[in-house]
Amino acid sequence: MSRTARALTFAEVFDLPLSVDLRTAARAFAICPATAYRLIHLGRFPCPVVRLGHQYRIPTTLLMRALGVENLPVYAADIEAGAEVSALMNHAHYEQEGSQ
């Protein structure tokens, strides 16, 4: 069994296209893709899902609504602070890799 990918960050959610695949939506909800497929088949996925042939697509606006993101105020200072933290974390990660 493969390792579950990390959950999407707040900034990553805002960079999503108009619709996303099921794996991306599963990451947004911090669940594995197998659980996402089970929830769809049970009719219990947290937001509406569109089936296109053999693929599932999730409209990003509905995904964000299910995550409660559209109700959150977004302030430029918060985005800047998040970008600074992300840059520091990336810098620390690369320094750690370089020392190994």
Give the per-residue SS3 of 42-54: CCCCCCCCEEECC
Full-model pTM: 0.59
Give the domain range for residue 38: 10-72
The whole-number pLDDT of residue 16 equals: 77
Tell me whether residue 47 is in a domain. yes
The whole-number pLDDT of residue 39 equals: 97
The whole-number pLDDT of residue 14 equals: 73
The whole-number pLDDT of residue 62 equals: 92
The whole-number pLDDT of residue 1 equals: 41
Domain count, the chain: 1
The whole-number pLDDT of residue 23 equals: 95
Tell me whether residue 95 is in a domain. no
Tokens of 7: 């959950």
pLDDT < 50 positions in the chain: 1-2
